[in-house]
């Protein structure tokens, strides 16, 4: 059912519309500012150990655990939420003044997957929120809980620069750095990332053409040097 707008209400709507700009949806996440490989960490111990460590570090940043979801693959997804600031927007003039306050916050999702070697893989993904509503995004991993309705705001709303996903990326970076500088051993301690470890193990032991004897070697000797250097560094036995 449509309602007839009075002249006063119509003027107020025009003032608010002009001052806030076109209303569009806000879609953002930490993935815009943080690569997937920089949102992954491996921690010693089981899922509970890793979850306690992550919860501790996020709590220091004002984010508390609000929900837990079990996935079919055996992993668990925890949701952490927190408020960052309140923004009050005042529009209008001498005749009409309209004010509204919005709470800007953050949500960080953490997926904990147990591995066979007694290590837990942790993946992070963050999104901003407005008035408790988490925004949607087009780059969220499949394990992130589905978002609700789109969050809308005027294109000139002063809070838009705090809803880009940058703040959530910085939260995740801070957590990762603190893990790296934290305890060296025990449950919840950070271990080498498997991707980095695999890359290091696959590195060749040497570059044959850079060997001191390469220039004066015979064809047979050069072949032997090439074969030696093809051996991954991780398989070279130190005979010193």
Confidence of residue 83 (pLDDT cuts 50, 70, 90): very high
| Residue 45 vs residue 201, higher pLDDT | 45
Q: pLDDT digits over 198-214, tens only? A: 444 455 657 767 666 76
Confidence of residue 16 (pLDDT cuts 50, 70, 90): very low
User: With contact defined as beta carbons under 8 Å apart, do 43 and 194 qualify?
Assistant: no
Which residue, among 33, 31, 32, 26, has the nearest Cα to 135 in the 3D structure?
A: 26
pLDDT averaged over the chain?
81
Tokens of 108: 């960080």
Q: What is the pLDDT of residue 204?
A: 64
Sign of CA dihedral 204, 209, 215, 220: positive
User: With contact defined as beta carbons under 8 Å apart, do 104 and 136 qualify?
Assistant: no
Beta strands 119-130; 133-134: pairing state:
antiparallel
pTM of this prediction?
A: 0.71
Sign of CA dihedral 177, 142, 107, 155: positive
Residue 82 has pLDDT above 70, yes or no: yes
Q: CA–CA separation, 191 vs 85, rounded Å?
A: 35
């Amino acid at each position: 059912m449509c309602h007839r707008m009075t002249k006063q209400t119509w003027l107020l709507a025009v003032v608010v519309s002009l001052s806030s700009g076109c209303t569009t949806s806000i879609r953002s996440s930490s993935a815009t500012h943080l690569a997937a490989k920089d949102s992954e960490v491996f921690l010693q111990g089981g899922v509970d150990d890793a979850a306690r460590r992550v919860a501790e570090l996020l709590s220091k940043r004002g984010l508390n655990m609000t929900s837990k979801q079990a996935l079919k693959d055996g992993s668990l997804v925890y949701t952490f939420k927190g408020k960052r600031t309140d923004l009050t927007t005042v529009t209008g003039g001498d005749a009409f003044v309209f004010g509204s306050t919005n709470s800007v916050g953050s949500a960080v999702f953490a997926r904990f997957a147990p591995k066979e070697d007694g290590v837990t893989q942790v993946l992070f993904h963050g999104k901003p929120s407005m008035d408790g509503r988490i925004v949607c995004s087009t780059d969220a991993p499949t394990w992130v809980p589905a978002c609700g309705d789109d969050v809308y705001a005027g294109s000139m709303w002063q809070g838009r620069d705090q809803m880009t996903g940058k703040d959530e990326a910085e939260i995740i970076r801070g957590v990762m750095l603190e893990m790296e500088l934290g305890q060296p051993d025990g449950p919840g301690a950070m271990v080498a990332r498997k991707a980095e470890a695999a890359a290091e193990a696959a590195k060749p032991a040497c570059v044959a053409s850079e060997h001191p004897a390469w220039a004066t070697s015979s064809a047979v000797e050069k072949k032997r040097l090439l074969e030696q250097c093809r051996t991954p560094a991780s398989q070279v036995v130190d005979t010193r």
